[in-house]
Structure 1
């Protein structure tokens, strides 16, 4: 039996990407299709989406919805892999340049509730045969933007008096909850009783994320450790009680890596290629990186790389405090990303003081991200919390040993280069357990110590590169979940 599943998300690589959600939305559906499922994706009609989907044809005229005239649903394909994509065309809601969620001042758009309610509502309509040619059995909603899809499904089931598609809700990051003022509930066209503690109400406001957690048939998150962590007071973001109640419906399925994109042997964004058995090319990548950032051209210097949002969640404040340790030991550090202005300025100041060994660039560029992952000896991901983390998985594939805080998906994917792990051929990176300066500094010292032992360093690099975090195993687990539900 072929399972028909609709994935609902706000972004999808390569059309539009602000973070890891886009990578997952771009890679998981094709991995499921390879395994025999019939999967399509529903996206808001942002300019980059409309420009990137080919052969768009109208499926349905939806008229005026959420105070927006002329809403239509269109269907097209992704040229790169033939994935079928539904796009909601609603110019007054989605036709805005730049970031899909924030205006030029980095402030969330005032009508985000309507913009993303429409996404969830259309998903539920597709489960009621909005497309005469295709009916999903599973509606798989991703993050708060799609959080109302399970709620609209439950409301429709009440109206029809029968079950429709089953729903799965995946939390990529519980910290982003899609919270809006209570008075906006009236614009969502949901039954009145859905605004309650047993529903979408969250401390007197309205939460799209809570709607997804409350009304979906099953909840997944993006690593086994994170699935446990979000059931605690410390990491539950005020939803830990609900998550503990639904513990039997909650599972952690690790995100995968698309090795077609992240592969140092064939990466078109690298000047030189290399493999686990032929690592010479990695030295050339390191030289190219030092040159690109104007650092001292020394091949025997331990080079740390950071590709990240520059925020406290990502632990960059802790790393900033450890910079003297890296400099004192003769190491180098390259930081690339954007985020909190105070962190950006702090990092720029330190870089200014140590131009030979420290470089900071603000922005995001996919090609430069690949250059840094390939050219670094160590990739630092010192996050306070991390649902899954993809950067450390890319780093492993490129033989750039990850230095991580032992939380969430970081704890599930990196094994520390302790003496016993090295002796048992298990080590793949450096893990610190306590989120405090001493813990991070000790991990940095372990990195320098291992780097001084070239044979063991190379063996650890090769072991890291042999790890397989492809989408295969994860896609199988999602398929098993769909089959249980159907």
Structure 2
């Protein structure tokens, strides 16, 4: 079975969030099952700079939005290098830009994102209909998030001269319904799509062209990244105006829980840790705790409960609740280390909290992959108090590292963390602290519960071992995707 992944980012080539981790880890897991999976990425400078040898397989001049002679090529990695084969859309006019894949230097969306990611979608559809130029033709095109949302639309309305060609099956995965890729209606013809597609049953969403809505409307199957989130988005609170369409397509919607790369996130082999450890040598976490305390200017107190956050600092992530709960946390002798960037208001609030609580609160307004590994290893509790969370990966990293997650009862957080209760302590299934509703009072109560357990080391150690024993890898999700693809192909046309 041949599967083309289409994504706007993929670790280790380019990463801004969890999508990159999924696009980087799921294809190898599928290839281990015998599927021929390849990935199509935009040709950002960071991607091209990490790939030494590429060959041109198709000339793509004439993509919508480009002057006729503007360079545009589909590049491919050389076969047989042992890695997942990559296709790279090399369009300098669209992608030869420094910084974020999505935002300009002013922090705003690039004004031509509709053309940039329209080109990605159109190229994926071209490969789906006519192959890669080397004879490879996918059976399934698996599209991820709004940036690849137009792929099913282009395949539904195949552009000349491909009308009547065999159409591959399509799967569209929602990683976060809040980001929809909305653009003015007049972009429809600019992207080479027919006006007949601009209807409430198709591309139109409140008078705008919706990239994500296109994926929901035209893909053969829909998935999202956890079972709970699949149910949540069919209701008004989490549906962002698309819940009606999702209920209509409920029979085609699956919630398949994400996994993590168990090789990269393995405390027994992690090269970014000062001392490696496993479930039988948890005392070695102390070395990472010391590193984190030093990096964040926290007091060197080995026995202080250390809470960590690795996150975008936004309202969605519940960071404002953490700011409100901080007085309670520090009054109990705990420390907090925060790594991330986000809204200016929350960055300022956290910086003030650090200034007001020297040695107890530390904040690094940055993205730092090495430090994120050290936080996962060195902290006692990892906080993920999100108001909504399609899946979340940081809490799964925490489980793997024996750092107990403290999470809101939403989305994939609910599906991956089992609350510590009297019953789950007794039967050995508790792995963290889950709270609801998502408000500061419930968060404070969860903090208090975690501190109470921390003061009982034998019970804390038991929960750490339960957390580390949980299977959070990609093997099981990959089998679910394999079954989904196989079922689609079995349906025929």
Aligned to 1:151: 153
5+ unaligned residues in a row in structure 1: which ranges? none
Distance 1:302 1:67 in 2: 55
Aligned to 1:205: 208
**Does 2:134 correspond to 1:127?**
no
Deviations 1:259-287 (A, max 9, x none): 11000011001111111011121011111
Contact 2:257–2:412 (Cα < 8 Å) also in 1: yes
5+ unaligned residues in a row in structure 2: which ranges? none
Aligned to 1:431: 434
Contact 2:313–2:342 (Cα < 8 Å) also in 1: yes
Distance 1:188 1:67 in 2: 7
Cα drift, residue 53 of structure 1: 2.4
Cα drift, residue 67 of structure 1: 2.5
Distance 2:79 2:463 in 1: 38
Distance 2:404 2:331 in 1: 21
User: Structure 2 vs 1, CA of residues 360 and 77 (structure 1 numbering), >3 Å: closer, same or farther?
Assistant: farther
**Residue among 168, 171, 181 paired with 1:165:** 168
1:215-364 correspondence runs (5 A): 215-364=218-367
Aligned to 1:139: 141
SS at the partner of 2:59? strand
Contact 1:70–1:90 (Cα < 8 Å) also in 2: yes
Deviations 1:92-147 (A, max 9, x none): 11000010000011100000000000111011100122424200000000000000
Contact 1:428–1:464 (Cα < 8 Å) also in 2: yes
**Does 2:401 correspond to 1:421?**
no
Contact 2:7–2:143 (Cα < 8 Å) also in 1: yes
Distance 1:356 1:73 in 2: 52
Deviations 1:301-342 (A, max 9, x none): 110000000000100001110000111100000001000000
Deviations 1:165-210 (A, max 9, x none): 0000000000000000111112011122011111100000010000
Aligned to 2:22: 24
Contact 1:53–1:85 (Cα < 8 Å) also in 2: no
Distance 2:400 2:48 in 1: 33
Cα drift, residue 162 of structure 1: 5.2
Distance 2:293 2:170 in 1: 48
Aligned to 2:113: 112
The two structures have a TM-score, normalised by structure 1, of 0.98
Deviations 1:244-273 (A, max 9, x none): 000000000000010110000110011111
Aligned to 1:58: 56
Contact 1:379–1:403 (Cα < 8 Å) also in 2: yes
Cα drift, residue 157 of structure 1: 8.6
Cα drift, residue 398 of structure 1: 0.4
Distance 2:116 2:290 in 1: 46
Contact 2:55–2:78 (Cα < 8 Å) also in 1: no
Cα drift, residue 215 of structure 1: 0.4
**Does 2:46 correspond to 1:48?**
yes
**Does 2:205 correspond to 1:184?**
no
Contact 1:54–1:77 (Cα < 8 Å) also in 2: no
Distance 1:333 1:60 in 2: 51
Contact 1:271–1:285 (Cα < 8 Å) also in 2: yes
Distance 2:390 2:80 in 1: 31
Contact 1:311–1:339 (Cα < 8 Å) also in 2: yes
The two structures have a TM-score, normalised by structure 2, of 0.96
Distance 1:260 1:162 in 2: 41
1:399-414 correspondence runs (5 A): 399-414=402-417
Cα drift, residue 79 of structure 1: 9.8
Distance 2:232 2:165 in 1: 35
Distance 1:149 1:42 in 2: 12
Distance 1:199 1:101 in 2: 25
SS at the partner of 1:7? strand
**Does 2:86 correspond to 1:85?**
yes
Aligned to 2:464: 461
Cα drift, residue 161 of structure 1: 3.0
Give the paired residue count: 484
Deviations 1:217-260 (A, max 9, x none): 00000000000000001100000000000000000000001011
User: Structure 2 vs 1, CA of residues 434 and 215 (structure 1 numbering), >3 Å: closer, same or farther?
Assistant: same
Point out the more displaced range, 206-215 or 290-299: 290-299
Distance 2:361 2:320 in 1: 16
Cα drift, residue 80 of structure 1: 8.3
